[in-house]
Amino acid sequence: MSDTTLTVRESGDGKFTQDITVGNHKFIADEPASVGGDDKGPGPYDYLLAALGSCTSMTMRMYANHKKWPLEGVSVTLTHSRIHVKDCEDCETEKGLVSEIRREISIDAPELSDEQLARLMEIADRCPVHRTLSSEIKIRTTAG
C-alpha cells in the first residue's frame, strides 16, 4: 500500500466549497444548506462513509475473485451519527458523544453457501479503511 497525498483548497466559489485534487482526479466537497453551505458536493462525512463503503465492497470483491466464488454484486449502505455514550453499551468512552457508523452489506450471490457468505462478512471487517478507522489514528499537523 502506498502513501496517498491529496490537496484540499477553498474554491472561492461558495461559503465552504472545497476543491480536492488527488492524482489526476478532481472533485469538490461542501456543507449542506442545512448547516450554511451551498450543497455543491458531498460533505466531509459523506467522503468518509464513501471511503469505508467502497473499501468494504472492493475488499469483498477481491476475496471472492481470489477464491473464484460466483459473487454477482455487493452493495454497502452507511450512515453516520453522533450518539450519547449512555446509549452505547460497548463504547470505551465514558462521557459525551461518540460517532457511530452503521454499515449494511447486501451480497448478491445466490450460489454461495452460508459458510461462504459468513466468510465474506468477516472479510468486510478486514478492509484497510475499516482497520484504519478501528485503530488508533495519529494526525500530525504542521504549518506549510
User: Each residue's pLDDT tens digit in the chain (144 positions)?
Assistant: 567 889 999 999 999 999 999 999 999 999 999 999 999 999 999 999 999 999 999 999 999 999 999 999 999 999 998 876 666 666 666 666 778 899 999 999 999 999 999 999 999 999 999 999 999 999 999 998
> Of 25, 19, 18, 30, which Cα lies nearest the Cα of 4?
25
**Grid cell locating 59:** 475488499
- CATH fold of 43-134 reads GMP Synthetase; Chain A, domain 3 (3.30.300)
42, amino acid identity = P
List residues bridging with 7 in a β-sheet.
21
- Give the separation between CA 104 and CA 45, rounded to whole angstroms: 17
- Give the separation between CA 129 and CA 126, rounded to whole angstroms: 8
pLDDT tens for each residue of 22-43: 999 999 999 999 999 999 999 9
Strands (E), the chain: 7-10, 18-22, 25-29, 73-84, 97-108
**Grid cell locating 39:** 450543497
- Go through 14-41 and write b for each residue having 16 or more CB atoms within 10 A of its CB, e for each that does not: bebbbbbeeeeeeeebbbeeeeebeebb
**Grid cell locating 73:** 454484486
> Of 125, 121, 120, which Cα lies nearest the Cα of 135?
125
**pLDDT at site 99:** 83
> Of 46, 67, 51, which Cα lies nearest the Cα of 111?
67
